[in-house]
Protein backbone atom coordinates (compact mmCIF):
# COMPACT_ATOMS: atom_id res chain seq x y z
CA UNK A 1 0.00 0.00 0.00
CA UNK A 2 2.87 2.40 0.82
CA UNK A 3 4.56 1.70 -2.52
CA UNK A 4 1.30 2.22 -4.40
CA UNK A 5 0.71 5.54 -2.62
CA UNK A 6 4.23 6.66 -3.51
CA UNK A 7 3.72 5.71 -7.15
CA UNK A 8 0.42 7.60 -7.25
CA UNK A 9 2.13 10.65 -5.77
CA UNK A 10 4.87 10.53 -8.38
CA UNK A 11 2.37 10.09 -11.24
CA UNK A 12 0.30 13.02 -9.98
CA UNK A 13 3.41 15.16 -9.78
CA UNK A 14 4.31 14.26 -13.39
CA UNK A 15 0.72 14.94 -14.42
CA UNK A 16 0.92 18.34 -12.77
CA UNK A 17 4.07 19.28 -14.69
CA UNK A 18 2.76 18.07 -18.04
CA UNK A 19 -0.67 19.59 -17.55
CA UNK A 20 0.58 23.04 -16.62
CA UNK A 21 3.07 22.97 -19.48
CA UNK A 22 0.34 22.09 -21.94
CA UNK A 23 -2.06 24.69 -20.60
CA UNK A 24 0.62 27.34 -20.67
CA UNK A 25 0.95 26.89 -24.44
CA UNK A 26 -2.74 27.45 -25.14
CA UNK A 27 -5.10 30.36 -24.77
CA UNK A 28 -8.75 30.23 -23.77
CA UNK A 29 -11.44 32.74 -24.54
CA UNK A 30 -13.83 31.82 -21.77
CA UNK A 31 -12.80 33.15 -18.39
CA UNK A 32 -14.23 30.23 -16.41
CA UNK A 33 -12.40 27.70 -18.54
CA UNK A 34 -9.20 29.67 -18.22
CA UNK A 35 -9.45 29.75 -14.40
CA UNK A 36 -10.24 26.05 -14.25
CA UNK A 37 -7.47 25.10 -16.61
CA UNK A 38 -4.72 27.41 -15.41
CA UNK A 39 -5.38 27.69 -11.65
CA UNK A 40 -7.84 25.27 -10.06
CA UNK A 41 -6.87 22.02 -11.77
CA UNK A 42 -3.10 22.45 -11.30
CA UNK A 43 -3.57 23.32 -7.62
CA UNK A 44 -5.75 20.25 -7.03
CA UNK A 45 -3.31 17.99 -8.82
CA UNK A 46 -0.33 19.49 -6.96
CA UNK A 47 -2.06 19.11 -3.59
CA UNK A 48 -2.90 15.47 -4.24
CA UNK A 49 0.63 14.82 -5.44
CA UNK A 50 2.24 16.40 -2.37
CA UNK A 51 -0.16 14.69 0.03
CA UNK A 52 0.25 11.23 -1.50
CA UNK A 53 4.03 11.51 -1.73
CA UNK A 54 4.51 12.97 1.76
CA UNK A 55 2.12 10.46 3.35
CA UNK A 56 3.99 7.58 1.77
CA UNK A 57 7.45 8.90 2.60
CA UNK A 58 6.50 9.50 6.23
CA UNK A 59 5.01 6.04 6.62
CA UNK A 60 8.04 4.39 5.04
CA UNK A 61 10.35 6.38 7.32
CA UNK A 62 8.39 5.49 10.46
CA UNK A 63 8.13 1.80 9.59
CA UNK A 64 11.85 1.65 8.87
CA UNK A 65 12.75 3.73 11.95
CA UNK A 66 10.16 3.07 14.70
CA UNK A 67 12.44 4.76 17.23
CA UNK A 68 11.36 8.04 15.63
CA UNK A 69 7.92 7.54 17.17
CA UNK A 70 9.48 6.93 20.59
CA UNK A 71 11.62 10.06 20.28
CA UNK A 72 8.62 12.10 19.18
CA UNK A 73 6.55 10.79 22.08
CA UNK A 74 9.32 11.66 24.56
CA UNK A 75 9.63 15.15 23.11
CA UNK A 76 5.86 15.74 23.37
CA UNK A 77 5.90 14.52 26.98
CA UNK A 78 8.87 16.75 27.79
CA UNK A 79 7.12 19.75 26.24
CA UNK A 80 3.96 19.03 28.24
CA UNK A 81 5.99 18.82 31.47
CA UNK A 82 7.80 22.06 30.69
CA UNK A 83 4.48 23.75 30.07
CA UNK A 84 3.10 22.41 33.36
CA UNK A 85 6.19 23.58 35.26
CA UNK A 86 6.00 27.05 33.72
CA UNK A 87 2.34 27.31 34.73
CA UNK A 88 3.17 26.11 38.26
CA UNK A 89 6.02 28.62 38.61
CA UNK A 90 3.69 31.39 37.52
CA UNK A 91 1.11 30.24 40.10
CA UNK A 92 3.81 30.15 42.80
CA UNK A 93 4.20 33.90 42.49
CA UNK A 94 0.71 34.29 43.93
CA UNK A 95 1.12 31.85 46.83
CA UNK A 96 0.87 33.64 50.16
CA UNK A 97 0.57 32.83 53.87
CA UNK A 98 -3.16 33.41 53.52
CA UNK A 99 -3.35 30.22 51.42
CA UNK A 100 -2.29 28.25 54.50
CA UNK A 101 -3.73 30.32 57.33
CA UNK A 102 -4.66 27.26 59.41
CA UNK A 103 -2.17 24.79 58.00
CA UNK A 104 -0.11 22.65 60.39
CA UNK A 105 3.57 23.54 60.57
CA UNK A 106 6.63 21.36 61.22
CA UNK A 107 10.29 22.27 61.32
CA UNK A 108 11.17 25.82 62.31
CA UNK A 109 8.01 28.01 62.42
CA UNK A 110 10.24 31.04 61.81
CA UNK A 111 12.38 29.38 59.13
CA UNK A 112 13.40 31.60 56.22
CA UNK A 113 13.06 28.78 53.68
CA UNK A 114 9.46 27.66 53.27
CA UNK A 115 8.60 24.17 52.06
CA UNK A 116 5.08 23.07 51.15
CA UNK A 117 4.45 19.34 51.35
CA UNK A 118 1.37 17.99 49.53
CA UNK A 119 0.75 14.41 50.58
CA UNK A 120 -1.65 11.56 51.32
CA UNK A 121 -1.06 9.49 54.46
CA UNK A 122 -1.79 6.27 52.56
CA UNK A 123 0.46 7.04 49.60
CA UNK A 124 3.62 4.93 49.50
CA UNK A 125 5.71 7.56 47.71
CA UNK A 126 4.44 10.18 50.18
CA UNK A 127 5.74 8.05 53.05
CA UNK A 128 9.17 7.91 51.39
CA UNK A 129 9.07 11.63 50.61
CA UNK A 130 8.18 12.54 54.18
CA UNK A 131 10.93 10.28 55.55
CA UNK A 132 13.40 12.11 53.29
CA UNK A 133 12.06 15.47 54.47
CA UNK A 134 12.40 14.47 58.12
CA UNK A 135 16.00 13.50 57.39
CA UNK A 136 16.59 16.92 55.87
CA UNK A 137 15.03 18.72 58.84
CA UNK A 138 17.52 16.94 61.08
CA UNK A 139 20.33 19.02 59.59
CA UNK A 140 18.52 22.04 58.12
CA UNK A 141 17.34 24.22 61.02
CA UNK A 142 16.13 27.22 59.04
CA UNK A 143 13.30 25.44 57.20
CA UNK A 144 9.58 25.91 57.79
CA UNK A 145 7.39 23.10 56.40
CA UNK A 146 3.75 23.83 55.66
CA UNK A 147 1.77 20.60 55.65
CA UNK A 148 -0.91 20.38 52.97
CA UNK A 149 -2.83 17.16 53.44
CA UNK A 150 -4.29 16.36 50.02
CA UNK A 151 -6.19 13.06 50.33
CA UNK A 152 -6.29 10.99 47.16
CA UNK A 153 -7.55 7.85 48.90
CA UNK A 154 -10.82 8.06 50.91
CA UNK A 155 -9.30 6.55 54.10
CA UNK A 156 -6.91 9.52 54.22
CA UNK A 157 -9.60 12.13 54.79
CA UNK A 158 -9.95 11.50 58.53
CA UNK A 159 -6.21 11.67 59.34
CA UNK A 160 -6.10 14.71 57.05
CA UNK A 161 -8.55 16.49 59.32
CA UNK A 162 -6.76 15.26 62.44
CA UNK A 163 -3.40 16.75 61.45
CA UNK A 164 -4.96 20.19 60.98
CA UNK A 165 -6.60 19.93 64.41
CA UNK A 166 -3.30 18.80 65.95
CA UNK A 167 -1.82 22.19 65.04
CA UNK A 168 -4.20 23.73 67.58
CA UNK A 169 -2.41 21.76 70.29
CA UNK A 170 1.01 22.56 68.88
CA UNK A 171 1.52 18.84 68.22
CA UNK A 172 1.40 18.69 64.43
CA UNK A 173 4.95 17.38 64.05
CA UNK A 174 4.38 14.54 66.50
CA UNK A 175 1.10 13.43 64.94
CA UNK A 176 2.41 13.86 61.39
CA UNK A 177 5.24 11.44 62.08
CA UNK A 178 2.92 9.04 63.90
CA UNK A 179 0.38 8.95 61.07
CA UNK A 180 3.02 8.32 58.43
CA UNK A 181 4.45 5.43 60.43
CA UNK A 182 1.09 3.83 61.22
CA UNK A 183 -1.01 1.55 59.02
CA UNK A 184 -4.19 3.57 58.68
CA UNK A 185 -6.09 1.04 56.58
CA UNK A 186 -8.46 -1.12 58.68
CA UNK A 187 -8.77 -4.85 58.07
CA UNK A 188 -10.85 -5.69 55.01
CA UNK A 189 -14.44 -6.64 55.74
CA UNK A 190 -16.86 -6.79 52.82
CA UNK A 191 -19.83 -6.56 55.17
CA UNK A 192 -18.62 -3.39 56.90
CA UNK A 193 -20.52 -0.21 56.04
CA UNK A 194 -18.81 3.07 55.19
CA UNK A 195 -19.69 4.32 58.67
CA UNK A 196 -18.09 1.26 60.27
CA UNK A 197 -14.93 1.72 58.20
CA UNK A 198 -14.71 5.39 59.18
CA UNK A 199 -15.08 4.50 62.85
CA UNK A 200 -12.26 1.98 62.50
CA UNK A 201 -10.05 4.60 60.86
CA UNK A 202 -10.85 7.08 63.63
CA UNK A 203 -9.89 4.49 66.24
CA UNK A 204 -6.52 3.99 64.51
CA UNK A 205 -5.91 7.74 64.19
CA UNK A 206 -6.86 8.49 67.78
CA UNK A 207 -4.70 5.61 68.96
CA UNK A 208 -1.73 7.07 67.08
CA UNK A 209 -2.54 10.52 68.48
CA UNK A 210 -2.55 9.22 72.04
CA UNK A 211 0.84 7.57 71.57
CA UNK A 212 2.14 10.84 70.10
CA UNK A 213 1.15 12.69 73.28
CA UNK A 214 -1.95 14.53 72.10
CA UNK A 215 -5.09 15.19 74.13
CA UNK A 216 -7.43 12.94 72.14
CA UNK A 217 -10.66 14.42 73.52
CA UNK A 218 -9.50 17.90 72.56
CA UNK A 219 -8.41 16.60 69.16
CA UNK A 220 -11.90 15.26 68.49
CA UNK A 221 -13.41 18.65 69.32
CA UNK A 222 -10.88 20.56 67.23
CA UNK A 223 -11.53 18.34 64.23
CA UNK A 224 -15.02 19.89 64.10
CA UNK A 225 -13.63 23.42 64.21
CA UNK A 226 -14.63 25.44 61.09
CA UNK A 227 -10.96 26.32 60.64
CA UNK A 228 -10.25 22.69 59.74
CA UNK A 229 -12.74 22.76 56.88
CA UNK A 230 -11.42 26.12 55.75
CA UNK A 231 -7.87 24.76 55.58
CA UNK A 232 -9.08 21.75 53.57
CA UNK A 233 -10.76 24.08 51.08
CA UNK A 234 -7.69 26.34 50.86
CA UNK A 235 -5.48 23.32 50.19
CA UNK A 236 -7.71 22.16 47.33
CA UNK A 237 -7.76 25.65 45.85
CA UNK A 238 -3.98 25.95 46.05
CA UNK A 239 -3.56 22.50 44.49
CA UNK A 240 -5.83 23.56 41.64
CA UNK A 241 -3.79 26.73 41.05
CA UNK A 242 -0.62 24.66 40.88
CA UNK A 243 -2.14 21.91 38.75
CA UNK A 244 -1.55 19.28 41.44
CA UNK A 245 -3.66 16.17 40.85
CA UNK A 246 -1.57 13.56 42.64
CA UNK A 247 0.83 13.20 45.52
CA UNK A 248 3.47 13.77 46.66
CA UNK A 249 4.34 17.28 45.52
CA UNK A 250 6.75 19.78 47.05
CA UNK A 251 7.28 23.50 46.83
CA UNK A 252 10.75 24.44 48.04
CA UNK A 253 11.39 28.16 47.86
CA UNK A 254 10.32 29.08 44.35
CA UNK A 255 10.81 25.59 42.92
CA UNK A 256 8.03 23.09 42.30
CA UNK A 257 8.52 19.33 42.35
CA UNK A 258 6.01 16.70 41.29
CA UNK A 259 6.46 13.25 42.77
CA UNK A 260 9.00 11.78 45.16
CA UNK A 261 12.39 13.43 45.54
CA UNK A 262 15.40 12.26 47.53
CA UNK A 263 16.88 14.13 50.49
CA UNK A 264 19.93 15.43 48.51
CA UNK A 265 17.63 17.06 45.94
CA UNK A 266 15.66 18.69 48.75
CA UNK A 267 18.84 20.05 50.34
CA UNK A 268 20.02 21.42 47.00
CA UNK A 269 16.70 23.22 46.49
CA UNK A 270 16.81 24.56 50.06
CA UNK A 271 20.34 25.91 49.56
CA UNK A 272 19.22 27.63 46.36
CA UNK A 273 16.32 29.22 48.25
CA UNK A 274 18.53 30.63 51.01
Quick one: 123 and 182 in the same domain? Answer: yes
Q: Is 82 within a domain?
A: no
**pLDDT interval class at 126 (50, 70, 90):** very high
Question: pLDDT, tens digit, for every residue of 200-238?
Answer: 999 999 999 999 999 999 999 999 999 999 999 999 988
Predicted confidence (pLDDT) at residue 101 exceeds the cutoff of 60? yes
Quick one: 108 and 10 in the same domain? Answer: no
Number of compact structural domains in the chain: 2
The DSSP code for 251 is E
Quick one: 110 and 10 in the same domain? Answer: no
Quick one: 28 and 127 in the same domain? Answer: no
Mean pLDDT computed over every residue of the chain: 81
CA proximity to 103, closest of 156, 165, 169, 152: 165
Q: What is the pTM of this model?
A: 0.70
Give the per-residue pLDDT at 40. 53
| Cβ neighbour number for residue 31 with a 10 Å cutoff | 8
Predicted confidence (pLDDT) at residue 88 exceeds the cutoff of 60? yes
Q: Is 160 within a domain?
A: yes
Predicted confidence (pLDDT) at residue 268 exceeds the cutoff of 60? yes
Quick one: 116 and 238 in the same domain? Answer: yes
Quick one: 42 and 130 in the same domain? Answer: no
Q: Is 77 within a domain?
A: no
Entry field: residues in the chain = 274
Quick one: 11 and 96 in the same domain? Answer: no
Backbone angles phi, psi at 144, to 5 degrees: -105, 125
| 66 CB-side CA count, 13 A | 1
Q: Is 73 within a domain?
A: no
As a whole number of angstroms, the distance between CA 94 and CA 97 comes to 10
Q: Is 71 within a domain?
A: no
Which domain range does residue 56 map to?
2-65
Predicted confidence (pLDDT) at residue 115 exceeds the cutoff of 60? yes
**pLDDT interval class at 194 (50, 70, 90):** confident
As a whole number of angstroms, the distance between CA 161 and CA 1 comes to 62
**pLDDT interval class at 93 (50, 70, 90):** confident
Q: Is 87 within a domain?
A: no
CA proximity to 114, closest of 8, 273, 221: 273
Quick one: 48 and 152 in the same domain? Answer: no
Q: How far is CA 26 from CA 15, 17, 41, 43, 168, in A?
A: 17, 15, 15, 18, 93
As a whole number of angstroms, the distance between CA 212 and CA 123 comes to 21
For residue 267, with 0-12 CB atoms within 10 Å meaning exposed, 13-18 middle and 19 or more buried, which class applies? middle
Q: Is 83 within a domain?
A: no
CATH number reported for the structural domain that contains residue 146 in this entry: 3.40.30.10
Quick one: 120 and 190 in the same domain? Answer: yes
Amino acid sequence: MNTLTLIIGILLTVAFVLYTKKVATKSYNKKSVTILATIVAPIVILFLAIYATAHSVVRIALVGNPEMLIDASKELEARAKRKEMEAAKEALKNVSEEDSKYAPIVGNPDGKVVVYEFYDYNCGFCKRGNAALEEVLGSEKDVKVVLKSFPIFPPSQIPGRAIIAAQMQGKAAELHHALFTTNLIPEQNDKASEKDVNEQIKAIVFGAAKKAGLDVDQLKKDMENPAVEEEIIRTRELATKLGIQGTPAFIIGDQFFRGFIEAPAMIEAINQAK
